Structure 1
Amino acid sequence: MRKLSSTDIKATLKISDCELMHLRERGQLSFEKRGRAFFYDLPSNESILNHPTGEALVNWYEGKHDFIYSNVPSNAHSKLALEFLLFEVLLPLKCRFGKLVITYGFTSFPLKKFIQKVSPSGTAPILDQHSSHETNSVGKQICSRGGAACDFFVEGVATSDIVRFITQKLNYDRIYYYGNNRPLHVSIHLTDPLKHLQVMSESENGRRYPGKKAFGEKAVILAEDL
């Protein structure tokens, strides 16, 4: 996992500058110094899901849906995948572009059932990786792809710029690009990332359909043309 900046470790552990300094000086946090900056390993008893971006990844539905139950992963692989998504994609993006506004994040089985009942339009739970490794009521994994996924945007930043950065720098599985003024869908996979970029087009009546797609280095080239 990537090391955390001072800003991100403080945000995750909910501590001040002074508390961080004391933990470092007492040897209670593993770190390395790069120039004048410190970078930290997250303690094994802490989760990056406690970072504000991690909290947004889990609590994204608040204010959108009248869902009154907890939306936390019940499967250990789901938790691991969500942490991987944060470390490998979302936090590097936040560092590069600024605060991410998450529009659709992790979706537990109870939340998935709720959304499919009240607002299913545009969702595809068996494909979209938002349910990560969670299972349904008969123990079958909701999305066979596993991994974890998130839809987001950054205020004032063209989505195409974000796509180019991801394809060139980050360890992603799938990207669905809907245009510069729409949220971007990105996912990770714990073992076999496809590095698949799918450009989604829109018909005259507003229907979305798959357009150009590419994998690996060809995805980098396709991203340059967005």
Structure 2
Amino acid sequence: MSLAPCLQKVIKNEGASYVQAPFFLSTCKFMERYLTSNEIKSLLQLSNRELKHMRENGLLQFKKVKNRFLYFVPSTNSILNYSLGEQLINWHQKKHGSKISNSPHNVQTIRSLEKLVWDLLLPIERHFGKETVHVTYGFTSTELKRYISKYSSANTYPALDQHASYEKNAKDNSICSRGGAACDFYVLGMPSSDIVKFISKHLEYDRIYYYGADRPLHVSVNLNESTRHLQIMRVSEKGRRYPSKKAFGEAAIKLAKEL
């Protein structure tokens, strides 16, 4: 089963029109997750006036908590169109200077990438500050994997690293045996050790690979049961990466405190 990910939508109200394009269509009709006013404005490219109009005319589903409005993402849109989701998809343009299509085609892939934003990247951004999260290695489509394998394959492990999520190769076999979705990222001005401590204690994750306080962090989520696996990686004198200490669940929280 596949889902055409790129659509274009024009919304008109009271003489004003704005375009949301291209955007990913959510795989969920109803999500028990909310965005703040600033976040929903960023996602839908709305002004304060347009947001107020849509709320008052029943065009957006929301709830009010004390003095704050919290909004559902419309089923015709997706959190992947938020800035963090765009980083997951478009990261390769900056890293590789490539215009290769990097759109996910598998519904499970889209669900996993949405989960990665909702459950990890967005809570981290909310905790450490807007525009502090920078994705250095995100989703890898079949087309992009082929390009990377040819021109920049060092330290990549597509069969295990979850960057390809549920996408399939030309032989219709899953690229990664683990499913889920993953990205490498850093938080501006923060050592990665602090991010590991925050994630392991407060967030739901599948795997964390820690390469050092000054290196991007590799994190993943899974649609099935999460392993909550923290793996410390070291680098040999010859520059080769190798696994060091590891822990799972509550033990991972204790290991993170040692970093």
User: With structure 1 as the length reference, what TM-score do the two structures score?
Assistant: 0.97
Q: Give the counterpart letter for 1:109 in structure 2.
A: T
1:73 aligns with 2:104: yes
Structure 2 counterpart of 1:129 = 162
Over alpha carbons, which structure has the higher Rg?
2
Q: Which of 5, 22, 33 is 2:53 aligned to?
A: 22
On the 8 A contact 1:81/1:189 being kept in 2, the answer is: yes
Tell me whether 66-75 or 128-137 shows the greater mean CA deviation: 66-75
Deviation of residue 205 (structure 1)?
2.6
Q: Give the counterpart letter for 2:124 in structure 1.
A: L
Structure 1 counterpart of 2:232 = 199
Q: Deviations over 1:176-213 (max 9, x none)?
A: 01111000000000111111000111222322110110
On the 8 A contact 1:160/1:180 being kept in 2, the answer is: yes
Q: Which of 78, 87, 94 is 1:56 aligned to?
A: 87
- Mapped to 2, the partners of 1:209 and 1:89 lie a distance apart of 25
On the 8 A contact 2:93/2:99 being kept in 1, the answer is: no
Q: Give the counterpart letter for 1:163 in structure 2.
A: V
- Mapped to 1, the partners of 2:97 and 2:197 lie a distance apart of 36
Q: Which of 69, 75, 86 is 1:44 aligned to?
A: 75
SS at match of 1:132: coil
Q: Give the counterpart letter for 1:207 in structure 2.
A: R
What does 1:1-226 align with in structure 2 at a 5 Å threshold?
Answer: 1-98=32-129, 99-226=132-259
Q: Deviations over 1:153-175 (max 9, x none)?
A: 01101111111111111111000
- Mapped to 1, the partners of 2:244 and 2:65 lie a distance apart of 43
Gaps of 5+ in 1: none
Q: Deviations over 1:43-94 (max 9, x none)?
A: 1111111101111110000122243331100111101110111111111111
Tell me whether 31-40 or 180-189 shows the greater mean CA deviation: 31-40
Q: Give the counterpart letter for 1:173 in structure 2.
A: D
Deviation of residue 147 (structure 1)?
0.5
On the 8 A contact 1:88/1:170 being kept in 2, the answer is: yes
Q: Deviations over 1:120-171 (max 9, x none)?
A: 0010000000000000000000001000001000110111111111111111
Tell me whether 101-110 or 7-16 shows the greater mean CA deviation: 7-16
Deviation of residue 35 (structure 1)?
2.6
On the 8 A contact 2:112/2:222 being kept in 1, the answer is: yes
Identity within the alignment, %: 53
Aligned length: 226
- RMSD, matched Cα: 1.1
User: With structure 2 as the length reference, what TM-score do the two structures score?
Assistant: 0.85
Q: Give the counterpart letter for 1:106 in structure 2.
A: F
On the 8 A contact 2:201/2:253 being kept in 1, the answer is: yes
